[in-house]
Structure 1
Amino acid sequence: MTAQNNRLTIILSAAGFLLLLPLVAMQFTKEVNWTLSDFIVAGVLLFGTGGLIELAMRKINKVGTRVWVILGILIVLFLVWAELAVGIFGTPFAGS
């Protein structure tokens, strides 16, 4: 197994682990109430972000540029996640 494939496995495993956290929390509290569509959207966001980060790691050779691109990908993830969770921008995606 190459180092690139190992890195991809780690990234996708981390995304899967993050997706399991609300599933486990739903077993212990009524405050976490995700539907199937919530898990699908979160999975697309997490696995998509992981895939984009892996693509940046493979294609961008200059370390400084790679760091900025990955940081930009993560910022977009957090902004979309926050918008979907609480509607910080008031777009129709958040149900506002």
Structure 2
Amino acid sequence: MITKKQKTLAIYALPLAVLTIPLMGNLFSKEVNWSVSDFLIAGTLLFTIAFMINLVRSKIKKQSHRILIYIFILLTLALIWIELAVGIFGSPFAGS
């Protein structure tokens, strides 16, 4: 049985695991060119999402509400990430 503490640890370890992918790409490939600010922005986004998911997990008791909020949080993350990467909305902080 996985304890609550282990689930929380897994939620906060996932952003670190995701950030190791571009880090390895930066170290071993010329195609990946992330700066320190890119890692800071990505880390901030991912850890904020992890915090929000952990907060929802601990505060919302009804499973169906929890799943809907998780979907909303992950869709928001995807839209922000895509906007920063390629600028689908044309905002001033877009990547293109």
Scaled to the shorter chain, the TM-score interval is: over 0.9
Percent identity for Structure 1 against Structure 2: 44
Aligned match of 1:78: 78
Given the alignment of the two structures, is residue 43 of structure 1 paired with residue 80 of structure 2, yes or no? no
RMSD between superposed Cα atoms in Å: 1.3
Larger proportion of helix = 1
TM-score (norm 2): 0.93
Evaluate the alpha carbon distance shift between residue 25 and residue 95 of structure 1 in structure 2; reply closer, same or farther with a 3 A threshold: closer
Cα shift at 1:95:
4.9
Work out the CA distance in 2 between the residues paired with 1:63 and 1:16. Answer: 27
Structure 2 counterpart of 1:76, one-letter code = T
Q: Does 1:62 align with 2:77?
A: no
Does the residue aligned with 2:93 lie in a helix, a strand or coil? helix
Higher-RCO chain (CA-CA 8 Å, sequence separation at least 6): 1
Which residue pairs with 2:20 in the alignment? 20
Residue segments in structure 1 that go unaligned for 5+ positions in a row:
none
SS at match of 1:31: coil
TM-score by length of 1: 0.93
The residue matched to 1:93 in structure 2 has which SS?
coil
